[in-house]
């Protein structure tokens, strides 16, 4: 599980940074990736990345401002030309369905795969045996949502050293123990799964927040997250401007991460006033003063999502 940034700028693209789009790579877990927001030019960014649109499974839109969704029609159209035949589901606030259906209809775009558009107003928007995705309404000029992606715990691995100590070699009995069934060795010893199965692997939590002022819902969605992604449109010397435009400062993002008990924080959605990556350094410094485990998002950079050790 990895985060990969395709765009980190706020409002409009610059020569240095494109507008918002974030990929959650789940190649080991699902052999696919998910996308959060799809600003104008995202498909061009994908071409410069290791991502392949044929592997894109889901897109989650935080809100309907252009810098977060103007890239959708083009990307959806191009996906079919780049080997995309599997179904694609797009989630987002009410109005998303009209936007996409009109755009694709007027442009006579042909979609050679099943496209599903799911509008929501928060709550659980997706769940299967492996993942659960919950959305919550944040505080912005229009309805803007954050997403909490929870990977479900997976069964622990077999302790092969202990099994060999019981004289049990790899074979069908291993499979029964993995399924939670007790087995009996040729010597008549009954082995319970709890005796030889390691602790379950704890699922990871990734929180991706849309544009927002500091608010209680951002805190709730980020509770105990292993990785939290929060906008940092301005440095804190512009806190008044951030509030006026319904955005957050880097320090405010760090305060949310600290108060939520998150493990790590990635800052993104930077104002165009900060032209170079070096000019963003003060944002990282002010955030790290509050929450040390803070990094700046950077175009075409990968950030692994680490699993917590058992009991932590």
Catalytic residues, by residue number, are 67
Look up residue 197 and give its two tokens.
């199965």
Taking the C-alpha atoms of residue 229 and residue 210, their distance in angstroms, rounded to an integer, is: 9
Q: Is 68 annotated as a binding residue?
A: yes
CB 252 within 8 A of CB 241: no
Chain position carrying tokens 């044929």: 54
Q: Is 230 annotated as a binding residue?
A: no
Q: Is 63 annotated as a binding residue?
A: yes
Taking residue 247's Cβ as centre, other Cβ atoms within 10 Å add up to: 24
CB 73 within 8 A of CB 106: no
Taking the C-alpha atoms of residue 8 and residue 84, their distance in angstroms, rounded to an integer, is: 25
Q: State the burial class of residue 274 (Cβ atoms within 10 Å of its Cβ: 0-12, 13-18, 19+).
A: buried
DSSP collapsed to 3 states, 70-119: CCHHHHHHHHHHHCCCCCEEEEECCCHHHHHHHHHHHCCCCCCCCEEEEE
Q: Is 140 annotated as a binding residue?
A: yes
Q: Is 211 annotated as a binding residue?
A: yes
E strand or H helix at 21: strand 21-26
Exposure letters 13-25 (e unless 16+ CB within 10 A, then b): beeebbbbbbbbb
Ramachandran angles phi, psi of 93, nearest 5°: -70, 165
Q: Is 43 helix (H, G, I), strand (E, B) or coil?
A: helix
Q: How many residues does the chain have?
A: 312
The answer for residues whose C-beta is within 8 angstroms of residue 287's C-beta and 6 or more apart is: 232, 250, 251, 253, 254, 265, 267, 294
DSSP secondary-structure letter at 284? H
Binding residues for Zn(2+): 63, 65, 67-68, 140, 211, 269
């Amino acid at each position: 599980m990895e985060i990969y940034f395709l765009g980190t700028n706020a409002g409009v693209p610059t020569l240095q940074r494109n507008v918002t789009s974030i990929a959650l790579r789940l190649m080991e877990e699902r052999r696919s990736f998910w996308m959060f927001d799809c600003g104008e030019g995202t498909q061009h960014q994908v071409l410069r990345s290791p991502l392949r649109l044929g592997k894109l499974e889901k897109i989650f839109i935080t809100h309907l401002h252009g810098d977060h969704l103007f890239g959708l029609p083009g990307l959806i159209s191009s996906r079919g030309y780049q080997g995309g035949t599997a179904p694609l589901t797009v989630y987002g606030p009410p109005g998303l369905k009209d936007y996409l259906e009109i755009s694709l209809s007027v442009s006579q775009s042909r979609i050679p795969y099943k496209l599903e558009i799911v509008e929501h107003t928060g709550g659980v928007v997706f769940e299967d045996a492996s993942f659960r995705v919950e959305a919550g309404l944040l505080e912005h000029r229009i309805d803007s949502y954050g997403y909490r992606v929870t990977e479900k715990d997976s069964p622990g691995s077999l302790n092969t050293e202990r099994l060999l100590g019981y004289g049990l070699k790899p074979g069908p009995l291993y499979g029964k123990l993995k399924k939670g069934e007790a087995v009996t060795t040729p010597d008549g010893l009954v082995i319970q799964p709890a005796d030889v199965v390691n602790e379950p692997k704890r699922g990871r939590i990734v929180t991706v927040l849309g544009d927002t002022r500091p608010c209680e819902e951002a805190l709730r969605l980020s509770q105990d997250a292993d990785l939290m992604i929060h906008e940092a449109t301005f440095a804190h010397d512009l806190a008044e401007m951030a509030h006026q435009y319904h955005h957050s400062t880097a320090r405010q993002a760090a305060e949310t991460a600290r108060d939520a008990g998150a493990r790590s924080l990635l800052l993104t959605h930077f104002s165009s006033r900060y032209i170079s990556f070096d000019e963003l350094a003060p944002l990282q410094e002010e955030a790290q003063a509050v929450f040390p485990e803070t990094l700046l998002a950077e175009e075409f950079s990968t950030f692994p999502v680490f699993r917590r050790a058992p009991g932590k």
